[in-house]
Structure 1
Amino acid sequence: MQQAEIHDFLVRFFTSSDCTLMPVQSTFQVKVKLNKSMDKMLMNRPFYWHYIEQIGAEPETATLTFRLSDKIDDGEFIHFGSPRLHQIFNAAEKMGQFIRLYQILPPQSAPALEPWLGLNLKISYQCDLKKDEIRSVGLQLINGTLIEGFQTMLKKLQLNQKMPDYCYTLSPLIKIQSGIQRIERFIESELEAEPTEWADQANERWAKDQQLLDAFYENQEQKPERYIQEKKALEEQYQPTINVKLINAGIFYLQSSTFLPGLIKGH
């Protein structure tokens, strides 16, 4: 997962969670004033909240500053392996967030807004090593147009939780469940087409360790329980697997002509 993708995810996550994004000095920073629920979820200070709620005082929620470059000093450095980012991923999962946003259009624009289904997915490539990626896919629910990098594209648009005046939404022809299945099939086809060197190399390392294990017990005709346990441990360690996990999703009412063509991956 690239730092730019993390930046986009943080902006979208905190915006959709009704937290307040604050001005920063660099595009490699994100500064956010947490709301009450997000402070409780991320800051781990139950005694503070118990005290504030007991006395009925006005709470002071935390302000977090993240930096996405090690060349910047101000802020908590955040990257894909950082505990804070995984804490935020877990928060997004717990919230089960399914947002609904509308594009703000310039004056004199056509008033129709088309429904798009957007999914943010975490793809984990696991063996004795691990690599995670974030994929963001959007599907138009009228004609089935599908694009990757949906989250990055959304960042370039002005969005609001309320539908703009003098606009109306078009009814979807594709049901949400069907749309999710289309995106799942797209991701599966993308993964099937990817190089498999990482899995082949893991299998080679697995075979070498298995040979060492077999050599250690080769003089024992009846293999002990410990051999079976160690063999199973090798399988759990090296077996190449790909896991796809939903981070969050949303319905976005957009005017496709403002960002298409050029991003289309399929129908």
Structure 2
Amino acid sequence: MVMSAKQVQQYVLRYLDTTNCHIIEKSPGHVIVKLSPQADRELTNRPYYWGYVDRTGVEPETMKFCFIFDRNKMSDLPPDPPPGPGMNAFRLLKEDVPYGSRRLDQFFQAAKTGGSYVHLFEQPTSEQKSIPASTPYEPWLGLNIKIEFACDMKREELHSLGISMITGEIAEQFCDDMLTRKMTPRLPANVHVTRGSMTLSRAKNMLEQYVEKKLKSYDDTWAVEARDRLKDEIARIDSYYEVLLKTDDEEQKKTVEDQYANRTQELTWQYDPRIRVSVINCGIFHIRAHDMQ
């Protein structure tokens, strides 16, 4: 899937909340935030500044950003302050964060490096709290997956999948569902966790099989066309090097052969279609049993 502006915003807000950033203002189209030290280190590429902070122990001054997800839905923003000495940390930096942007990819990488695994419990509702009996929670393994279709062109899809470790039921848009729930890293009172009937390894394998089956159903026209372009390019360099390889100079011939092999290898890498599947992050989510309808 391609993430909508709303899904991008939900993902970014979850990252900002997880890294304890201070949300100053938000609307359906944007968020103004003062980064936490952790987020500033991961997003701003200021190694020299943070090296200075680490050496001297001074209180860090983190940066403020306005991340824009949908300009049609955002409220009016305050104007930038006039430039002046020492204003970098206080200036409000505005950035559009659409799907496919460098900044969103940076959020993905930060989440993958610093928060690639979570273990969360759904917070009880007020109705649950009023019931004397303990509420059973069902464990789900959730994976956010990136699928890259690469040749001389590139396309990416993001998929969020969850699998019940009791029933084996698989749900798509799993992250979207989790974002609608209030979660906590601590086991809530009056709740008990149901033991899963399958191992993490088995659950992971089932999701891998699900993705593999899904990919087999895709239209492979893009791959066929990429291989045709590769054949055309190989034929073109074959005709070029065919003449050069007829030389009687053995040293020159060896040089041409090496050039031909390298060029063929480069073209194969550039045009040969391939699919890469990688896990961005994952987690175990304990939610109310039979509540994924």
| Equivalent position of 1:211 in the other structure | 235
| Equivalent position of 1:76 in the other structure | 95
- Tell me the CA shift for residue 238 of structure 1: 0.4
Query: 1:109-163: CA deviations, max 9, x gaps?
Result: 3711111111111111100000111111001111111111101111111212222
| Equivalent position of 1:243 in the other structure | 276
Q: When the two structures are superposed, what TM-score results if normalisation uses the length of structure 2?
A: 0.79
Unmatched segments (≥5 aa) in structure 2: 78-93, 129-133, 247-255
- Tell me the CA shift for residue 212 of structure 1: 1.6
Superposed counterparts of 1:10-49, under 5 Å:
10-25=12-27, 27-49=28-50
- Tell me the CA shift for residue 88 of structure 1: 2.0
Q: Quick one: structure 1 residues 163 and 212, their matched pair in 2 at CA, closer, same or farther if it must change by over 3 Å? A: same
Note if contact 1:10-1:30 (Cα within 8 Å) is conserved in structure 2. Answer: no
Flag as ranges the 4+ runs of structure 1 deviating above 6 A.
none
Q: Quick one: structure 1 residues 23 and 169, their matched pair in 2 at CA, closer, same or farther if it must change by over 3 Å? A: farther
Q: Quick one: structure 1 residues 113 and 231, their matched pair in 2 at CA, closer, same or farther if it must change by over 3 Å? A: same
Aligned partner of residue 258 in structure 1, secondary structure: coil
- Tell me the CA shift for residue 70 of structure 1: 4.9
Superposed counterparts of 1:34-113, under 5 Å:
34-71=35-72, 75-95=94-114, 97-109=116-128, 111-113=135-137
Query: 1:226-252: CA deviations, max 9, x gaps?
Result: 222211111011010000111111111
| Equivalent position of 1:130 in the other structure | 154
Note if contact 1:16-1:99 (Cα within 8 Å) is conserved in structure 2. Answer: no
Query: 1:158-204: CA deviations, max 9, x gaps?
Result: 21222222112111221112211111111111111111011111112
Amino acid at match of 1:17: T
| Equivalent position of 1:6 in the other structure | 8
| Equivalent position of 2:174 in the other structure | 150
What's the Cα RMSD here? Answer: 2.3
Q: Quick one: structure 1 residues 170 and 236, their matched pair in 2 at CA, closer, same or farther if it must change by over 3 Å? A: same
Unmatched segments (≥5 aa) in structure 1: 261-267
Deviates more, 1:239-248 or 1:211-220: 211-220
Aligned partner of residue 101 in structure 1, secondary structure: strand
Residue identity (%): 29
